[in-house]
Amino acid sequence: MAICYRYRDDDGVILFAELNHGHIHTSYIRDESINNYGNKLKIIYEYINEYGIRFFGDPTLFELTQENKEEFIRKVHEGFSLAQEIIIEELVSIESETQKIKLELKQANKNRDIKLKNNLNNQIEDLSIRSNVFRKLADSIAWYFLQHHYIANRFYLKGNMPSINNSNLESGRKFVREFNKNEMGFALLTDITSFLQIGDVLCIEFEDERIKQSIIELKEGEKNRKLLEMLEDPNNNFENTYTSLEPKSQKQMKRIIKQGCRGERAISVINNEEGIDSEGTSVKICDVTNLDVEFYTETVRSLLKDCETDGWALDTIEDECLFVAAYHLNIPIKKAYQAFTGWLEDCAVNYPVTNFQSSFNFPLAYPPFINGIDKSDVIDLSLGKKIILSCLNLDRWFDLGETMDLKCEWMSRKDSDKIIKKDKRILYHNNRVAKASLGSNSAVLGNGIPQRIFFDFLTPLCALKLLKTSLSQTPSSVE
């Protein structure tokens, strides 16, 4: 997988950079569709973020009446619907093209055609990148409603998203189109997102200025319809009904019940802020409403503008705890990485470099399209015309934690190996896992915390405050 990519519309080149044994190697393909791809991103972005304002005006600039609020909501939902249609079409096209290229790749492998094989692999990588970006646009719609990480976590089952061509696409599109005729509600197909893995459709309805969320499972076929009728019939004895079914029907009924329970559990945990989640894990949501959440978004915005002048711009956050730099298209990818790693070496920092582009690969990363970056800049980041590199100095971060009685440390290699084998979604470096302690409470740190620093622009100090609050309330685990 590429650690960095860049779409150059001036010469139709898509450039990929990969890290191999500590060295960056680049390769490229030519594609005349780059301009069209960039324009599609802009159109979808505007449907999601600007459509309601364009027709109604910015609601923050004047006082809204109830009638105005409803009219604005209708226009916003209309924009979401238009965006969803384009995203579906693009994902279907991408998956169809990917399958075609994979067949060509299979033949190239048989023929031992190395040059063609490399070219086809790059084409697949390009399509994968585009798919991730379109899914993050769909995620933007979902996050407008879900708003919080703890809510998004409840819908993610940590697996791969299904192929959209293999899903009940037509029945799903028919359902959302019908549902969205009620413009005060909105239905989003979960399969076009990168993290909604419970149910087929996320439905949002406004009732008395309150948002009601629900998960819909779409079942096709006569067999599914009959099984659902049996389950929903209050006069049916479940045990007698179940034992009367043939083995295949019993298996299908179990699947229907399991899917229904997942959705009910997810919504229940969200509404009650505790309970058993979709995976059967006991969950209690931490209350951080009294904590002032701080972001370094303005610093990033400035870096993205400043790099247009010299090709680069850099800064540090909270006394060299976090190193951040932005590089313009004028700076080659290799030089950008060399300059950034050289800066880290001069400062005696030896931790991994994170490219902001990788946020498109993380299902639970906050969508870049709604995190406060200017439209032109976020489109440039999507296309690699600008890149953001960052590095968290974990030594300094751990020291910062000590100032608030939060002890962060690396576990032994022996203990770390046991944890890493079970779950790689934790914070580790050089095969050693990070652990945080607050008094007698301690927990292994998940990778969600550094991801929020890199991709949400949460300040390192604020991340520690959230960590401390989480440990004080739910010491068993920290996402």
Give the per-residue SS3 of 122-159. Answer: HHHHHHHHHHHHHHHHHHHHHHHHHCCHHHHHHCCCCC
Mean pLDDT of 170-186: 91
Exposed, middle or buried by CB within 10 Å (0-12, 13-18, 19+), for 270?
buried
254 and 316 share a domain? Answer: no
Per the domain annotation, does 63 fall within a domain?
A: yes
Instruction: Look up residue 448 and give its two tokens.
Output: 């969600």
The 10s digit of each residue's pLDDT in 379-394 is 999 999 999 999 999 9
Nearest of 306, 342, 296, 234 to residue 452 by alpha carbon: 296
Of 102-111, 209-218, 349-358, 404-413, least confident by mean pLDDT is: 209-218
Residues 234, 103, single domain; the answer is: no
If we measure between CA atoms, which residue out of 459, 323, 328, 345 comes closest to residue 393?
323
Residues composing the chain: 479
Which stretch of 75-84, 284-293, 325-334 has the lowest confidence by average pLDDT? 284-293
Are both 123 and 234 inside the same structural domain? no
* Contact by Cβ (8 Å): 234, 241: no
Q: Same domain for 441 and 469?
A: yes
The mean pLDDT of the chain is 85
Q: What CA–CA distance (Å, rounded) separates 201 from 339?
A: 45
Q: Note the pTM of the prediction, 2 decimals.
A: 0.85
Do 122 and 27 form a contact (C-beta atoms < 8 A)? Answer: yes
Confidence (pLDDT) at 212: 80
What does the pLDDT average to over 120-141? 96
* Segment (H or E) for 26: strand 23-30
Tell whether the model's pLDDT for residue 221 goes beyond 70.
no
**Does residue 159 lie within any of the structural domains?**
yes
State which residues form the domain around 83: 33-185
Read off the pLDDT of each residue in 412-438 and give the average, rounded to a whole number. Answer: 86
Q: Of 124, 159, 185, which marks where a domain is finished? A: 185
Q: Are residues 322 and 362 in the same domain?
A: yes
Q: Are residues 119 and 257 in the same domain?
A: no
Q: What is the three-class DSSP state of 4?
A: strand
Same domain, 241 and 342: no
Residue 402 confidence class, pLDDT cut points 50, 70, 90: very high
Q: What is the pLDDT of residue 380?
A: 97
Whether residue 427 has pLDDT greater than 70:
yes
Beta pairing partners, 5:
16
For residue 215, the SS3 value is strand
pLDDT on residue 176: 93
For residue 13, the cross-strand partners are: 8, 30
Instruction: Decide if 197 is inside a domain.
Output: no
In this structure, is residue 234 part of a structural domain?
Answer: yes
Q: Per the structure, how many domains does the chain have?
A: 3
Domain match, 325 and 436 both: yes
- 280/416 same-domain check: no
Give domain status of residue 9, yes or no: no
What residues contact residue 138 under an 8 Å CB cut-off, 6+ apart? Answer: 83, 84, 87, 188, 192, 193, 194
Let me know if residue 409 belongs to a domain: yes
pLDDT at 207: 73
CB 5 within 8 A of CB 360: no
pLDDT of residue 270: 55
* C-alpha distances in Å from residue 348, one per residue of 305, 371, 468: 28, 31, 28
Q: Which residues pair with 25 in a beta bridge?
A: 18
The answer to which of 207-216, 329-338, 350-359, 369-378 has the lowest mean pLDDT is 207-216
Kindly state whether residue 266 falls inside one of the protein's structural domains: yes
Average pLDDT over residues 44-56: 91
State whether 261 and 333 are in the same domain: no
- Helix and strand element counts for the chain (H, E): 16, 16
pLDDT, tens only, 257-289: 666 666 566 666 555 555 555 555 545 555 555
Report angle CA 44, 47, 53 to the nearest 5 degrees.
150
317 — phi, psi (to 5°)? -115, 130
Q: What is the pLDDT of residue 323?
A: 98
Q: CA angle at residue 428 from 425 to 429, to 5 degrees?
A: 140
Q: Which of 137, 156, 185 is the last residue of a domain?
A: 185
Task: Look at residue 247 in the predicted model and tell me its pLDDT.
Answer: 73
Please indicate, yes or no, whether residues 340 and 247 belong to a single structural domain of this protein: no
- Rounded CA-CA distance 77/419 in Å is 44
Asked if residue 207 is part of any domain, the answer here is no
For residues 335-343, average pLDDT:
96
Mind listing the pLDDT tens digit for each residue in 52-73? 888 777 766 666 677 778 888 8
Residues 269 and 329 in one domain: no
Give residue 198's pLDDT.
84
Tell me what percent of the residues of the chain surpass a pLDDT of 90.
Answer: 54
Cα of first residue to Cα of last residue in the chain, in angstroms, is 25
